[in-house]
Amino acid sequence: FTELESNQIARFQEYLRIRTAHPSPDYAGAAAFLLPYAESVGLRTTTLHFTPCKTKPLLLLTWPGSDPSLPSVLLNSHIDSVPAEPERWWHPPFAAHRDAATGRIYARGAQDDKCLPVQYLEAIRGLRAAEFEPARTVHISLVPDEEIGGADGFAEFARSEEFRALNIGFMLDEGQASPTDVFRVFYADRLVWRLIVKAAGAPGHGSRMFDGAAVGNLMDCLETVAGFREAQFGKVKAGEKGPGEVVSANPVYMKAGMPSPTGFVMNMQPSEAEVGFDLRLPPTEDIEQIKRRVKEEWAPAHKNLTYELLQKGPVTDVAGRPIFTATNESNPWWSVFEQAITSAGGKLSKPEILSSTTDSRFVRQLGIPALGFSPMTNTPILLHDNNEFLEDKVFLRGIKVYEHVIRALSSFQG
């Protein structure tokens, strides 16, 4: 590695060592690292707060363009990470250990998405060194709380006067790793819902056979959902649909039984039972049909089932349309982005719907085009997984890719 590259890797490791994982992300520590870093590459910095206690900073970094009348470009990344279970990792999740043989840097957040700010800033450093001057202003937003829904982060930011004043024409946000040498890009997120189903039923002795026990009623629900899930997953397994193009309904918790000092009472059938599903829908899914399915098939009242369906985030954009970014000639940013990847020597896959959710939804909801993109090829998808890693060379190539992408987007005159 050159000295510059070694420094870039070291900065990435330094950021990874800041404990930004929930439930208590060190936002102050992250800000103390990121703000001087951005200033060192010549960016203006501002800190916004959308909570009264000011413990969740949103950092805004700006590289002014020569033509402020043009809408700006926003590069986004969330600061927070999901938790890790250190005992299940090969290397401590906040040590950012670099394996000398493989170049893999192991850390929670290595892929999701703490590579991004370092890559954005190093790409800008490179462009400045090459004396490139952007026509459009480039903003970087580093935001809190994406992993927990963004209510105190991007959701508020997108509603703010400060956001409106940025006059954003296009946003890039995180995507997902690609196991092949083709870059992946995402034009939509699925909608996130939560479904909680509660069963009631007759209690009784653990030895007695009778119909209508709560757990039995809940199992009916689980079986019906499992059948639906198999049918959806089957389409993915058959290669008919991408993982973001089907409805997923995964049980994420179950609650039943009467606690006892040693565990659970074993000879009583409880009168209540509950299951929670993480439910995700493609943006164009027929929502009424899903609601009907839940009411009539998954949790019918005649089986003593009740349910709560919680919608997390917007369902349509400001114009009442499904929330996605066009990837055809109707969106000129698309071809600018596509060409930038080609000019960086990369291949781009067919645009996909992300199976999870990002802050992009808040921007797309406003009718602003946004793509999800993380330049990680030949990398297993390890977001939220144990032993999350990113290889040093892949990380460095990402910086080069962003040099092309930022150059192209900020020069776009359309």
Ligand X SMILES: CSCC[C@H](NC=O)C(=O)O
Q: Which does 152 bind (CB under 5 to 8 A by kind): Zn ion, ligand X, none?
A: none
Instruction: State the minimum distance, in angstroms, from the CB of residue 383 to Zn ion.
Output: 5
Please give the Cα distance from 107 to 15 (Å, whole number).
10
196 binds ligand X (CB under 6 A): no
Scanning 181-329, the segments in alpha helix (DSSP H) are: 214-237, 287-293
Region from 53-61, 168-176, 186-194, 250-258 binding Zn ion, contact rule CB under 5 A: 168-176
Whether residue 275 contacts residue 253, with contact meaning beta carbons closer than 8 Å, is answered with: yes
> Residue 110 or residue 199: which is nearer to Zn ion going by CB?
110
DSSP secondary structure, 296-331, as one string: IIIS-GGGTEEEEEEEES-SB-TTSSB-----STT-
> Residue 113 or residue 403: which is nearer to ligand X going by CB?
113
- List CB contacts of 160: < 8 A, sequence separation 6 or more: 48, 50
Q: Which does 357 bind (CB under 5 to 8 A by kind): ligand X, Zn ion, none?
A: ligand X
Which of 113, 122, 145, 146 is flagged as catalytic?
A: 146
Please give the Cα distance from 170 to 183 (Å, whole number).
19
391 is catalytic: no
Judged by CB under 6 A, which of 312, 314, 338, 386 binds ligand X?
312
| Contacts with ligand X, 346-375, as mask; x by CB under 6 A | ----------xx------------------
Whether residue 350 contacts residue 183, with contact meaning beta carbons closer than 8 Å, is answered with: no
76 binds ligand X (CB under 6 A): no
Region from 16-24, 62-70, 172-180, 190-198 binding Zn ion, contact rule CB under 5 A: 172-180
- List CB contacts of 366: < 8 A, sequence separation 6 or more: 158, 317, 318
Report the candidate in 383, 356, 359 with the shortest Cα–Cα distance to residue 152. 359
Instruction: State the minimum distance, in angstroms, from the CB of residue 190 to ligand X.
Output: 8
> Residue 113 or residue 352: which is nearer to Zn ion going by CB?
113
146 is catalytic: yes
Please give the Cα distance from 344 to 362 (Å, whole number).
29
189 binds Zn ion (CB under 5 A): no
Q: Which does 113 bind (CB under 5 to 8 A by kind): ligand X, Zn ion, none?
A: Zn ion
Whether residue 20 contacts residue 79, with contact meaning beta carbons closer than 8 Å, is answered with: yes
Report the candidate in 322, 371, 317, 321 with the shortest Cα–Cα distance to residue 349. 371
91 is in an annotated binding site: no
192 binds ligand X (CB under 6 A): yes
> Residue 355 or residue 410: which is nearer to ligand X going by CB?
355
113 binds Zn ion (CB under 5 A): yes
Instruction: State the minimum distance, in angstroms, from the CB of residue 145 to ligand X.
Output: 9
Coil vs helix vs strand at 177: coil
Residue type, 25: P
**Interacting residues with ligand X (CB under 6 A):** 146-147, 149, 192, 312, 356-357
Q: Which residues are part of a known binding site?
A: 78, 112, 147, 174, 384
